[in-house]
Structure 1
Amino acid sequence: MVDSVEADRIEEDIQAMVGFGTRHTLSDTTSDERGVGAARRWLKAEFERISADCGGCLEVKYQKTVVPAGETERIPSRTPVYNVVAIQRGTEHPNRYVLMGGHLDSRVSNIMDSTSRAPGANDDASGVAGAVEAARVLSKRDFASSIVYVGYTGEEQGLFGSTHAAEVAVEEDWTMAGVLNNDMIGNIRGIDGVVENNTFRVFSQRRPPDLHEETWATRYFGGENDGPSRQLARYVATQAETYVSHLDPILIYRLDRFGRGGDQMPFADRGFPAVRVMETHENYNRQHQDLRTENGIEYGDTIEGVNFGYAEKLTGVNVATMASIAAGPPRPDSVKIGGAVSPSTTLSWKPVEHEDLSGYKVYWRRTAASRWQHSEFVPAGTTRHTLENVVIDNWFFGVAAVDEAGHESPVVFPSALLE
């Protein structure tokens, strides 16, 4: 599936979005050739075309919300905000979802300028094109869990589209296996002068928790460093290393870049596992800039700044991650741990219901390590396992479910103590 991702198709989709002139959230919605309205109708038509090719396997629709006037300085009048959503329904766990998206809207230097040319080629036509290409590839297969492809709008004005999408997920009681926000996946030439196409970044963290939420177990056994978003980030890194050649993940343990934000944040705020996938080296001359040349420097987010082979690789990471999560079993629930003043550590969990469940993997790593280091497999039917001579004080622990093909769920960190 990763090998089926094609840079040429990603390039065509980015070119199509750039061709709408501007996709600013406050831009024209009636024209068929220019503005955010034309762009969202194009995206919906692309998803519908993909669905037609797979016999109607995608549920394609708009998610609409209306932002009241004065909600923020960036929304001066009552403004409809549309997400374009395509759902590929799972065969066994239809209410379990893994989601990939990017934001369709674009901007220039003045955030309120809705008429000037704003190509938004890398920020974020690249992420939306990645979601469309992932839909083309993954829609040819069936998966146990549901996959969602989405193009948000309202991101530059204040994450309005993704906030609405997260609210819908809460209202409809989605079991969210993971949210992959792809925002800028095509630039390899950084503002620092470095040119690099063999690394990428994964940002993960929920908002700092209320200290009153802390429990005895989280205080002693990990807390936010092992929350669902961090486990998803580790999962993405493993898929990249396994399935995508010459591409190394860099895990960034922040919600987003310093002082900045993205569409993963509303999902993380609501407790969903959510990460931002993006390039390693950003070029600020190409972000949020009027198109111009000053002192020999070209400013503006034009298609010339996108490396399509690199966007292909990052899309491949998403494809591998979503395929593995959607094909595999749900996470174990109610993981508990015990072993104080003992030479061994015991974990327990509730059994996972999945058609071809093979068993579980119990993971452990040093407390200073960022990635899981060791694992031990136990067969299906096991819901309690003791790691002999592994002292609980010296390690962090987790449990994942595994199917017969080897697909794993993300790891689940213990949330309670064994009685």
Structure 2
Amino acid sequence: MRSPLAIALSACLVAPAAAAEAPAAPPATQALLHDIGTAPSAARIEADVRKLVSFGTRHTLSDTQSDTRGIGAARRWVHAEFERISAQCGGCLEVIDVGDTISGEERIPEPTEVVSVLAIQRGTADPGRYVIMSGDIDSRVSDVMDFTSDSPGANDNASGVAGTLEAARILSKHRFAGTIVYAALSGEEQGLFGGKIVAARAQKEGWRIEAMLNNDMIGNIAGLNGVIDNATARVFAEGTRANETADEAKQRRFTGGELDSPTRSLARYIDRMADLYVPNLDVMMVYRLDRFGRGGHHRPFNDLGWPAVRVMETNENYNRQHQDLRTEDGVAYGDVIEGVDFDYVAKLTALNAVSLAGMASAPPPPAEVSIEGAVTADTTLKWTRPPASQAPDLAGYKVYWRLTTEPQWTHSVYVGDVTQHTLENVVIDNYFFGVAAVGKDGSESPVVFPGAAGSFGGY
């Protein structure tokens, strides 16, 4: 949303008293993330999209026995590709199928296996903390129940799966403190079933999910509105948690936080990573769960209270979404490969990769963040420090604040390895506040807003 220069300048806008007390901060950027920001290959992504299109249809109800056509062949190929990537990094990925049998649903009336493929790159210090990148493997045409017609699904959503595979190729060459999951999720078009199944498993196994980035259509640059744009991406982020309690809602009414849910904080983090590390890409944060009245595979994670966003192209071509392959009145319909810009997919893949790497490298977001300062001139924030084993590279913390009408953080101060800090002559009534954890290499967690409204959970 803002240029790197603007970010650097705004970071210097600190209260005089706070600046005088601040210890020396770690580096502002990381060389590794600059490398990752330009690493994705459009050629490799194109090869993956073409391979996924070659399966004819990837409809959830399509053939699972054929080796060349249908959802079964597609998911087995994705599994094998993850295994191949893992072999190149010495077995660093745990590749698993996660599925269940669904039946009796409007779009899945008969018993049907819905199987997603996950590649898990375990963290070195904090493996119980997860950041996830996903794409949807299934496709459809005009009739959501038509599982036999050709359904290329080139942009929706071979692009997202190809981006996820490419991110795995790049990030698996490195090691991170937190765990990264690369997911090809099934059953999206029939009711978000793949995401529901994986989210339920994560909840059962006690995953501490810091972020879920759902990539659903990241390849189209020519919108039906006539706009051609390869330099922006949208990040959809809902406000208050879907599972917020009545007591938490009451507290939020008096303290704020509807703009600073963990999901919104994640969106701001992704926006900042674009500004710092991905050339010629600007993020449009959209304060909504998804496109108007629509949904995606991040929603099952939001439903359970986790930070989850949808990453996608800014301008859509609806003639190429959920359409039978045909030409009418000179207009071509269908989600064909000609509608995918592979350089753009590479750019949005880079956005995901730097965000995943940044969060997985950084210490966990601060927990139990609280704030006080009513009827005083000063504002004090407090938080807890994680166990040393989970954050061996923790350097300290950074306190952020902004006017309540600002979309991004505009002021910050590094305060060192402490668990509270007072901003003198910064009035609590006039700003929103937050705290981020900072690693010795300068990597940062997302900013955490005080109270239940902004909490990323415990350690």
Counterpart residue number, 2:413: 376
Q: Tell me if the contact between 1:336 and 1:416 (Cα under 8 Å) persists in the aligned partners.
A: no
CA gap 1:310/1:385 in 2 versus in 1, 3 angstroms: same
Q: SS state of the match for residue 190, structure 2?
A: helix
Does residue 1:300 correspond to 2:337, yes or no?
no
Q: Tell me if the contact between 2:242 and 2:302 (Cα under 8 Å) persists in the aligned partners.
A: no
Does residue 1:317 correspond to 2:351, yes or no?
yes
Q: SS state of the match for residue 284, structure 2?
A: strand
Q: Distance between the aligned counterparts of 2:357 and 2:200, measured in 1?
A: 25
Q: Tell me if the contact between 1:143 and 1:323 (Cα under 8 Å) persists in the aligned partners.
A: yes
Using structure 1 for the length normalisation, give the TM-score.
0.97
Does residue 1:266 correspond to 2:300, yes or no?
yes
Q: Distance between the aligned counterparts of 1:108 and 1:277, measured in 2?
A: 22
Counterpart residue number, 2:397: 360
The offset of 1:358, in angstroms, is 1.0
Counterpart residue number, 2:21: none
Residue of structure 2 aligned with 1:176, choices 205, 209, 212 = 209
Does residue 1:22 correspond to 2:57, yes or no?
yes
Q: SS state of the match for residue 56, structure 1?
A: coil
Does residue 1:391 correspond to 2:391, yes or no?
no
The offset of 1:3, in angstroms, is 2.0
1:40-65 per-position Cα deviation (integer Å, ceiling 9, x unaligned): 00000000000000000000010011
Q: SS state of the match for residue 448, structure 2?
A: coil
Q: Superposition pairs for residues 165-244 of structure 1, below 5 Å?
A: 165-205=198-238, 212-244=246-278
Q: Distance between the aligned counterparts of 1:375 and 1:210, measured in 2?
A: 28
Residue of structure 1 aligned with 2:130, choices 74, 93, 97 = 97
The offset of 1:223, in angstroms, is 2.6
1:207-266 per-position Cα deviation (integer Å, ceiling 9, x unaligned): 656672435542222233111100000000000111111111000000000010000000
Q: SS state of the match for residue 258, structure 2?
A: helix
The offset of 1:76, in angstroms, is 1.7
Q: SS state of the match for residue 214, structure 1?
A: helix
1:8-57 per-position Cα deviation (integer Å, ceiling 9, x unaligned): 00000000000000000000000000000000000000000000000000
Using structure 2 for the length normalisation, give the TM-score.
0.89
Q: Tell me if the contact between 2:243 and 2:304 (Cα under 8 Å) persists in the aligned partners.
A: no
Q: Tell me if the contact between 1:350 and 1:383 (Cα under 8 Å) persists in the aligned partners.
A: yes
Does residue 1:345 correspond to 2:382, yes or no?
no
The offset of 1:351, in angstroms, is 1.2
Q: SS state of the match for residue 223, structure 1?
A: coil
CA gap 1:302/1:284 in 2 versus in 1, 3 angstroms: same
Greater relative CO (CA pairs within 8 A, separation 6+) = 2
- Bigger mean CA deviation after superposition, 340-349 or 200-209: 200-209
Q: Distance between the aligned counterparts of 2:232 and 2:447, measured in 1?
A: 24
Does residue 1:409 correspond to 2:445, yes or no?
yes
1:305-324 per-position Cα deviation (integer Å, ceiling 9, x unaligned): 00000000000000100000
CA gap 1:388/1:210 in 2 versus in 1, 3 angstroms: closer
Unaligned runs of 5+ in 1: none
The offset of 1:388, in angstroms, is 0.4
Letter matched to residue 264 of structure 1: H
Q: SS state of the match for residue 158, structure 1?
A: coil
Letter matched to residue 394 of structure 2: L
Query: Identity over aligned residues, as a percent?
Result: 59
Cα root mean square deviation, aligned:
1.3
Does residue 1:55 correspond to 2:90, yes or no?
yes
Q: Distance between the aligned counterparts of 1:210 and 1:362, measured in 2?
A: 25
The offset of 1:357, in angstroms, is 1.0
Q: Distance between the aligned counterparts of 1:112 and 1:197, measured in 2?
A: 33
Q: Distance between the aligned counterparts of 1:315 and 1:19, measured in 2?
A: 22
Unaligned runs of 5+ in 2: 1-35, 454-459
Q: Tell me if the contact between 2:60 and 2:186 (Cα under 8 Å) persists in the aligned partners.
A: yes
CA gap 1:406/1:23 in 2 versus in 1, 3 angstroms: same
Q: Tell me if the contact between 2:266 and 2:307 (Cα under 8 Å) persists in the aligned partners.
A: yes
Q: Tell me if the contact between 2:242 and 2:305 (Cα under 8 Å) persists in the aligned partners.
A: no
Letter matched to residue 287 of structure 2: Y
Q: Tell me if the contact between 1:337 and 1:416 (Cα under 8 Å) persists in the aligned partners.
A: no
Q: Distance between the aligned counterparts of 2:250 and 2:450, measured in 1?
A: 12
Q: Distance between the aligned counterparts of 2:351 and 2:277, measured in 1?
A: 8
Q: Distance between the aligned counterparts of 1:143 and 1:213, measured in 2?
A: 37
Q: Distance between the aligned counterparts of 1:333 and 1:39, measured in 2?
A: 41
